[in-house]
Structure 1
Amino acid sequence: MRKSRKIILSIAGAATLAVSVSMAALAWGHGYTSDPPSRSALCASGEVTNCGNIQYEPQSVEGPKGFPAAGPADGSICSGGNGQFSQLDDPRGGNWPTTSVSAGPRTFTWTMTARHSTATFDYYITNANYDPAQPLTRADLGLTPIASFNMGGAQPDHTMTQTVTLPSRTGQHLVLAVWNIADTANAFYSCIDVDFGGGGSGDPSDPPTTTDPGTGDGCDAPAWASGSVYNGGAEVTHNGTAYRASWWTQGEEPGTTGEWGVWRQTATC
Structure 2
Amino acid sequence: MPARRRKVATLTALGAAPLALTFLAAAPASAHGSMGDPVSRVSQCYAEGPESPKSDACKAAVAAGGTQALYDWNGIRIGDAAGQHQALIPDGKLCSANSEEFKGLDLARADWPATSVSSGSYTFKYRVTAPHEGTFKVYITKDGYDPSQPLAWSDLDLQHPVATATDPVASGGFYTFSGTLPQRSGKHLLYAVWQRSDSPEAFYSCSDVAFGGGGNGAGTTTGSTTGSTPAPSASAPTDEQVADGADKSTIEHHGHGDQDALTTTDPVVANEPKAAGSSGTSVQDLAETGGSSSTPYIAMGGAAALALGSAALFASVRRRGGR
TM-score (structure 2 length as normaliser)? 0.50
Provide the C-alpha distance between the structure 2 equivalents of 1:100 and 1:245, rounded to a whole number of angstroms.
16
Q: As a proportion of its length, which structure holds more helix?
A: 2
Check the 8 A contact 1:127/1:142 in 2, yes or no.
Answer: yes
Alpha-carbon shift at residue 129 of structure 1 (Å)? 3.6
Residue equivalent to 1:70: 87
What SS class does the counterpart of residue 44 from structure 1 fall into? helix
Aligned to 2:310: none
Q: Would you say 1:132 and 2:134 are equivalent positions?
A: no
Shift of 1:177: 0.9
Change in Cα spacing, 1:259 to 1:70, as seen in structure 2 (3 Å) is closer
Post-superposition shift, 1:111?
1.0
Matched, 1:245 2:232: no
> Residues 87, 190 of structure 1: CA spacing in aligned structure 2 closer, same or farther, 3 A cutoff?
same
- 1:105 equivalenced with 2:121 (yes/no): yes
TM-score (norm 1): 0.60
Q: Which deviations, in whole Å up to 9, do the C-alpha atoms of 1:182-204 show, x marking residues without a partner? A: 122221111000010279xxxxx
Question: Is 1:142 paired with 2:142?
Answer: no
- State whether structure 2 residue 100 is matched by structure 1 residue 83: yes
The answer to which structure has the higher strand fraction is 1
Listed as ranges, the gaps of 5+ residues in structure 2 are: 1-26, 49-53, 215-224, 235-323
Larger radius of gyration: 2
Distance 1:29 1:58 in 2: 13
Kindly provide the CA deviation profile for residues 158-183 of structure 1, in whole angstroms up to 9, marking residues without a partner as x: 31111110000010000011111112
Amino acid at match of 1:184: S
Residues 139, 192 of structure 1: CA spacing in aligned structure 2 closer, same or farther, 3 A cutoff? same
Following TM superposition, where does structure 1 have runs of at least 4 consecutive aligned residues deviating by more than 6 angstroms? none
**SS of equivalent residue, structure 2 residue 192:** strand
Task: Report the counterpart of residue 45 of structure 1 in structure 2.
Answer: 47
CA shift, 1:260, in A, is 4.5
Distance change >3 Å, CA 67–CA 108, structure 1 → 2: farther
Distance in 2 (alpha carbons) for counterparts of 1:79 and 1:259: 21
Answer yes or no: is the 8 Å Cα contact 1:170–1:198 preserved in 2. Answer: no
Q: Structure 2 CA distance, aligned partners of 1:259 and 1:188? A: 26
The 8 Å contact of residues 141 and 189 in structure 2, kept in 1 or not, is answered as yes
Inter-CA distance 169–246: structure 2 relative to 1 (3 Å threshold)? farther
Q: CA RMSD in A?
A: 3.1
Q: Distance in 2 between matches of 1:29 and 1:69?
A: 21
Distance 1:246 1:167, change over 3 A: farther
Instruction: Report 1 or 2 for greater relative contact order, CA contacts < 8 Å, sequence distance ≥ 6.
Output: 2
In structure 2, what is the equivalent of residue 159 of structure 1? 174
**Match of residue 35 from structure 1:** 37
